[in-house]
Amino acid sequence: MGKVLFAVALSLVLAGLGHLFLGVKRGIWFAIPSAFLLYLHWTGAFALADAAFVAFGIFSAFDAYSFAQRGHGIF
């Protein structure tokens, strides 16, 4: 259970990190847009970047938890 919770915590820090920790290669497809949203938030270029970043992180955390528990993600 510790590995699962650590993967979820990593996904909440930056979406996709939990997937990469679990060895799921599709985690990079979560990490790249998440890092781009974080960049947009820091530069102030997109007003809703922080909300999108948080929503993307929560979705990624649920998907990482699902993958760690069942062996496949939400979809």
Map 31-47 to HEC letters: HHHHHHHHHHHHHCCCC
What pLDDT does residue 19 have? 94
- Asked if residue 52 lies in contact with residue 39, where contact means CB atoms within 8 angstroms, the answer is no
For the chain, the structural domain boundaries read 2-70
| Residue (of 68, 57, 54) closest to 21 by Cα position | 68
Helix ranges (H only) for the chain are 2-13, 17-22, 28-43, 49-70
Q: 3-class SS at 21?
A: helix
What confidence category does residue 1 fall into, taking pLDDT thresholds of 50, 70 and 90? confident
pLDDT for 31-71, tens place per residue? Answer: 999 999 999 999 999 999 999 999 999 999 999 999 999 88
